[in-house]
Amino acid sequence: MIDKTNSAGISIQEQEVEKKEILKRYRSLLRACRNSIDKTDRKMIRLAFDTALEAHKTMRRRSGEPYIYHPIAVAQIAAEEIGLGATAIVCALLHDVVEDTHISLEDIRGLFGPKVEKIIDGLTKISGVFDQKSSLQAENFRKMLLTLSDDVRVILIKLSDRLHNMRTLDSMPREKQLKIASETAYLYAPLAHRLGLYAIKTELDDLALKHTEPEVYRTIAQKLQQTKKDRDKFIFEFIKPLKEEFIRMGFKAEIKGRPKSINSIWNKMKKQQVPFEEIYDLFAIRIILDSPSDQEKADCWRAYSIVTDFFVPNPDRLRDWISTPKANGYESLHTTVMSNSGKWVEVQIRSIRMDEIAEKGYAAHWKYKESAAENALDDWLGRIRELLENADANAIDFIDDFKLNLFADEIFIFTPSGELKTLPSESTALDFAFEIHTDIGSRCIGAKINHKLVPISHKLHSGDQVEILTSSKQHPKEDWLSFVVTAKAKSKIKTALKEQKRMSADDGKEKLERRLRNLKVDIASLNINDLLLFYKVPTALDLYHRIAIEAIDLKNLRDFFTEEGVPKHKSVQKPEGQSFEELVKTVRGSADMLVIGENMDKMDYNLSPCCNPIPGDDVFGFVTVSEGIKYIEPIARMRFN
């Protein structure tokens, strides 16, 4: 979003107007954090503001506005919408100075100390992930998560940065809007959800839809506006008797109607395959209780009792996230009741503390010093670290595995000793085994669920008590990948399979060399690519592995050579002057299209070095004999190059 044009050409009058606007926005920032900062903090924030203002003084955004508007807005989001403290506000104001100006990390350390320097360093290292000038890079995302495991404020500030960029996306070219919106919907909205930032997650989803499906967004927004009057009347009539009863019972409570997001309505329309007019739950009723911490749970259930005295509940739609909060700390009591007009209405019941945590995520947990919440965050970050420990993992596989656990609904499983474990819904006994320990997962042969024997592929349900059965003779198998769902299980199985493949490949290579020596072939002069072409396998590792497991018979190797020991088959070379289309035809043959399934670990591929595709892109590529699929490139991006 940066356009580094000089401010020359701006009139003195316009400069004065901009100075007043900058000061106004800075004062608004101070008001947003006034309850959480002291005099020392205020001085530090002022120094950060002055530093950023001076560093960015010649820079303007794509919209033409002074660039300083952006860091002030990011700091305001971090303070007001996430609830972060002075250190994070300072870092938000400075988040682009090392990346885009003459200021160094050493300067930051000298002015603001080592803690601020470390966070700014983390923000700078991962800037490529969020930078509008680059596409989503899997390796950069790994770096971001490494930084996240050091200080979660890094990602919270980056999410604030992304939210402001999404709010101001209208000034960007259409192709960049599509790319940035796709990245946001694919990774950053789910990441906000996983950190408990529901308000930010919802807005990111809506803004992504606005730019990826503008007609859909516009239509739903217009229809929501057209039906607002009737909806407001319905909400008023629904909550009126509840308010009166809550007052009579001595409750301090706020009751309000909360509209569903445009993105969630669109998802319902797609899932149920119905038009907007047939989506009835366009809003939820939220009851927020002012209760002391030791009475919250009891008060929520008393409030539930009042609601069900007036309206009949759907017994299948009761969700108790107060007794067992979600892994990201979310606590609330959800029920769906039948209104007097014959419509189902979702009712959410929670305390003020629970509501703040639902809106502001882990930042609010720290405010309330919830050790359980910090432990939940530590557990989640621990899982990320485990995934990152696997240095051999393909970065794109890592992204897919990581994303699996961002948006999944959760189930609660008990160990034989009664310890509670949280897993994504659809998890199997094998997922649970890997959740306990990698070795237990690798040696798992079955499980006892509620004292009954089941296979390792058995899907678990909330409340199951699971005992894992193991054998020292068991080892991971490729078909396991077809039914596990957790990122940890997938990652560990893939690592074990690759290790098994490497070990068997060593045996296969030895067999091949022995056979070549028998045929009196000079191994040193042999081009392995010629053999890959002959046996129609993509890589040398695959060749050796298939020889080891006897999927390739070396008896016909003699047919590969002439009597002089020279290969009859040569790998495809690109002749000088051959067109791209001719090369594609040479490699592809007569087939019209290559269809790739989900099992990508069986096929090597390379992305085009100039234009990496992002989720949502239509791509094309062509198959080479020795290096799998080459030059995968976004079709849409080709039209712009």
Contact (CB, 8 A) for 592 and 580? no
- As a whole number, mean pLDDT of residues 118-146 equals 57
Q: Characterize the bridge pairing of strands 283-289 and 253-259.
A: antiparallel
Model confidence at 379, pLDDT cuts 50, 70, 90, reads low
Q: Mark whether 592 is an active-site residue.
A: no
- At residue 266, the pLDDT reads 93
**Region of poorest pLDDT, from 344-358, 511-525, 570-584:** 570-584
635, pLDDT greater than 50: no
Model confidence at 630, pLDDT cuts 50, 70, 90, reads low
Catalytic residue selected from 18, 100, 386, 426: 100
623, pLDDT greater than 70: no
Q: Left (φ > 0), alpha (ψ -120 to 50) or beta: where does 552 sit?
A: beta
Residue 466 tokens read as 């699971």
- At residue 135, the pLDDT reads 38
Model confidence at 446, pLDDT cuts 50, 70, 90, reads very high
CA nearest neighbour of 311 among 241, 229, 247: 241
The Cα angle at residue 154 between residues 490 and 321, in degrees rounded to 5: 60
Model confidence at 7, pLDDT cuts 50, 70, 90, reads very low
Q: Characterize the bridge pairing of strands 344-351 and 283-289.
A: parallel
**Domains recognised in the chain with CATH numbers:** 2-209 (1.10.3210.10), 222-370 (3.30.460.10), 580-640 (no CATH)
Q: pLDDT tens for residues 63-107?
A: 888 899 999 999 999 888 888 888 889 999 998 888 888 888 888
- At residue 142, the pLDDT reads 57
Q: pLDDT tens for residues 558-602?
A: 777 665 556 655 544 544 555 545 544 554 444 444 444 444 444
Residue 47 tokens read as 């120094």
Beta bridge mates, 424:
410
Strand order in the sheet with 444-449: 452-454, 444-449, 466-470
Catalytic residue selected from 41, 80, 99, 320: 99
Q: Characterize the bridge pairing of strands 420-424 and 253-259.
A: unpaired
- At residue 38, the pLDDT reads 85
The Cα angle at residue 55 between residues 51 and 57, in degrees rounded to 5: 115
CA nearest neighbour of 199 among 73, 297, 89, 80: 80
- At residue 538, the pLDDT reads 79
317, pLDDT greater than 70: yes
Q: Which residue has the higher pLDDT, 260 or 194?
A: 260
Helix-, strand-, coil-residue percentages of the chain, each rounded to 5: 55, 10, 30
Most confident of 82-91, 430-439, 596-605, 627-636: 430-439
What residues contact 42, with CB distance under 8 A and at least 6 apart?
A: 30
Residue 493 tokens read as 């199985």
Q: pLDDT tens for residues 170-186?
A: 888 888 888 889 888 88
Residue 269 tokens read as 């329309």
Model confidence at 389, pLDDT cuts 50, 70, 90, reads low
**Region of poorest pLDDT, from 181-195, 204-218, 461-475:** 181-195
CA nearest neighbour of 437 among 494, 512, 488: 488
CA 20 to chain centre: 39
Rg of the chain taking only CA atoms, in angstroms:
29
- At residue 134, the pLDDT reads 38
What residues contact 399, with CB distance under 8 A and at least 6 apart?
A: 138, 141, 187
- At residue 565, the pLDDT reads 56
51, pLDDT greater than 60: yes
Contact (CB, 8 A) for 210 and 100? no
Give dist(CA 301, CA 331) in Å, integer: 13
- At residue 617, the pLDDT reads 53
Strand, helix or coil at 443? coil
- At residue 217, the pLDDT reads 94
351, pLDDT greater than 90: yes
Give dist(CA 254, CA 435) in Å, integer: 40
Give dist(CA 196, CA 190) in Å, integer: 10
368, pLDDT greater than 80: no
445, pLDDT greater than 90: yes
Give dist(CA 631, CA 613) in Å, integer: 11
Backbone angles phi, psi at 621, to 5 degrees: -160, 175
**Region of poorest pLDDT, from 34-43, 44-53, 432-441:** 34-43
Contact (CB, 8 A) for 432 and 484? no
Q: Mark whether 230 is an active-site residue.
A: no
What residues contact 636, with CB distance under 8 A and at least 6 apart?
A: 175, 178, 617, 618
Residue 170 tokens read as 């209208």
Contact (CB, 8 A) for 553 and 535? no
CA nearest neighbour of 323 among 463, 467, 201, 432: 463
- At residue 556, the pLDDT reads 72
Strand, helix or coil at 22? helix
Model confidence at 196, pLDDT cuts 50, 70, 90, reads confident
Backbone angles phi, psi at 312, to 5 degrees: -80, 125
The fraction of the chain above a pLDDT of 70, given in percent, is 73
- As a whole number, mean pLDDT of residues 261-288 equals 88
pLDDT mean across residues, the chain: 78
Q: pLDDT tens for residues 395-415?
A: 455 555 555 555 556 777 888
The fraction of the chain above a pLDDT of 90, given in percent, is 27
- At residue 580, the pLDDT reads 47
Q: DSSP string covering 185-248, please?
A: IIIIHHHHHHTT-HHHHHHHHHHHHHHHSHHHHHHHHHHHHHTHHHHHHHHHHHHHHHHHHHHH
Model confidence at 344, pLDDT cuts 50, 70, 90, reads confident
- As a whole number, mean pLDDT of residues 47-56 equals 91
Residue 19 tokens read as 């100075």
The continuous run of DSSP H or E covering 257 comes out as strand 253-259
- At residue 27, the pLDDT reads 92
Q: Which residue has the higher pLDDT, 595 or 622?
A: 622
- At residue 128, the pLDDT reads 45
622, pLDDT greater than 70: no
Q: Would you say the C-alpha torsion 266, 268, 270, 276 has a positive or negative sign?
A: negative
Q: DSSP string covering 360-384, please?
A: HTHHHHHHHT-HHHHHHHHHHHHHH
3, pLDDT greater than 50: no
Most confident of 337-341, 522-526, 599-603, 614-618: 337-341
- As a whole number, mean pLDDT of residues 298-310 equals 94
